[in-house]
Structure formats: structure tokens, C-alpha cells
């Protein structure tokens, strides 16, 4: 009599498979945080990294003092729109985001995304995704006004000593964490621009 195999073709649902499935579901969710955080990597990206908002603002000033232009197809926004968007992000950390994600999201996927970005020192997100609930970025925005707004937002953040409002995706952040979040956000956007020769 021939021996029959006791191996089953079905996937195990034992104690090892269950956490693996949960991890895969979590990873799939994390990959779509904010419509493309984490895995989004535009082409033609300078891969800038800044430790502080002040470091990022030095690059803003360098670009603003010359003929700055986008590195297609890295961004769909103009220089002015990008400056306004970055200013909005800093301003909202001081006064509150208009449409935050749920506390559940912030404490799970949002927190995981921030921790991953912090660990690698660089964020990745869709550079054409507005802050939820923020006013539409006007295509006709003037560069000088947008630059002045970002300068003011960065200065206000630097001198702010009171409580900070939770980030719309990451949730509650301390001052040092927000400094890192803003520096990474600026680096991601500024990486899509350079001085045009």
C-alpha cells in the first residue's frame, strides 16, 4: 500500500500565519497613508535632507535668490504654490489643521508613517496632494508673497512656546518632532526644484 501525503495544499491559519496576514494588511495600509505616503518617489528628485526648519529655509532662500524652476515631472505645483503649501503646514501646527484624520488613523497608520520617516530621516509623499481642508492653492500666487508667508510661518514656529496642535495625519507631536516633520516636509518639496541655468 502506497503511503499518502499528509501535507495539505491549503494555507496555514495557525499562530504564525495570522500575525503575518495582519502585518501584510498593516503594510498595505501604511503604503497608502495620505494617498501615497511612504512609497511615493517622484522622478528627478534631489533627495534633500534637513535637520531643522532653519536648514530648510536656507535652501528656500538660495532657490528664491535665483531663477528657480521645477524638475519635471517631480511636481505639478509651481514654486509659489509649493511655498504656500509648506507655509500652510507650519501655520496649521500652530493653529490647528482644518480637517484632521480620525484619532484611530493618527494613532496607527499616521504614527507608523511618521516613525518610518523619522527613522530614515526623509519623508516621501505625493507632492500634488493638498492638506485636507486647506484653501485651494492658487495658480496665480505671487512668488514674493508666498515666500514672505513661508518666512513668517517658519519664524512663528521657531519662537512659539505654547502647545502645538496635532498633525492631521501623525497626531500629537512635540516641538522637536514637529521640527523634524516640517524639515522633512520642506525637504521633500524643495527636492523637486532647483536653480535653472
Q: How far is the C-alpha of 16 from the C-alpha of 7, rounded, in Å?
A: 17
Q: How far is the C-alpha of 158 from the C-alpha of 16, rounded, in Å?
A: 48
How many Cα atoms are found within 13 Å in the side-chain-facing hemisphere of 138?
Answer: 6
Taking only the tens place, the pLDDT of each residue in 113-145 is 999 999 999 998 899 999 999 999 999 999 999
- Which residues does the chain have with pLDDT short of 70? 1-44, 74
The pLDDT of residue 42 is 55
Taking only the tens place, the pLDDT of each residue in 31-45 is 444 444 444 555 567
Contact yes or no for 74/42 (Cβ under 8 A) = yes
Contact yes or no for 179/154 (Cβ under 8 A) = no
Q: How far is the C-alpha of 56 from the C-alpha of 180, rounded, in Å?
A: 11
The pLDDT of residue 75 is 76
The pLDDT of residue 15 is 46
The pLDDT of residue 13 is 43
Contact yes or no for 57/147 (Cβ under 8 A) = no
Amino acid at each position: 500500500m502506497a503511503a499518502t501525503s499528509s501535507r495539505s495544499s491549503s494555507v496555514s491559519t495557525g499562530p504564525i500565519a495570522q500575525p503575518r496576514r495582519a502585518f501584510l494588511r498593516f503594510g498595505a495600509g501604511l503604503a497608502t497613508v495620505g494617498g501615497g505616503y511612504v512609497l511615493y518617489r517622484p522622478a528627478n528628485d534631489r533627495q534633500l535632507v534637513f535637520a531643522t526648519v532653519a536648514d530648510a529655509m536656507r535652501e528656500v532662500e538660495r532657490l528664491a535668490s535665483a531663477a528657480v524652476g521645477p524638475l519635471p515631472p517631480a511636481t505639478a505645483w509651481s514654486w509659489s504654490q509649493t511655498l504656500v503649501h509648506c507655509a500652510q503646514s507650519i501655520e496649521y501646527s500652530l493653529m490647528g489643521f482644518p480637517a484632521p484624520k480620525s484619532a484611530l488613523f493618527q494613532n496607527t497608520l499616521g504614527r507608523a508613517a511618521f516613525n518610518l520617516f523619522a527613522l530614515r530621516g526623509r519623508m516621501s509623499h505625493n507632492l500634488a496632494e493638498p492638506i485636507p481642508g486647506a484653501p485651494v492653492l492658487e495658480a496665480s500666487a505671487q512668488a514674493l508673497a508666498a515666500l514672505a508667508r513661508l518666512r513668517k510661518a517658519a519664524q512663528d514656529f521657531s519662537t512659539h512656546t505654547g502647545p502645538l496642535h496635532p498633525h492631521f495625519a501623525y497626531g500629537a507631536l512635540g516641538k522637536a518632532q514637529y521640527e523634524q516633520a516640517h524639515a522633512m516636509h520642506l525637504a521633500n518639496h524643495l527636492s523637486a526644484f532647483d536653480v535653472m541655468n
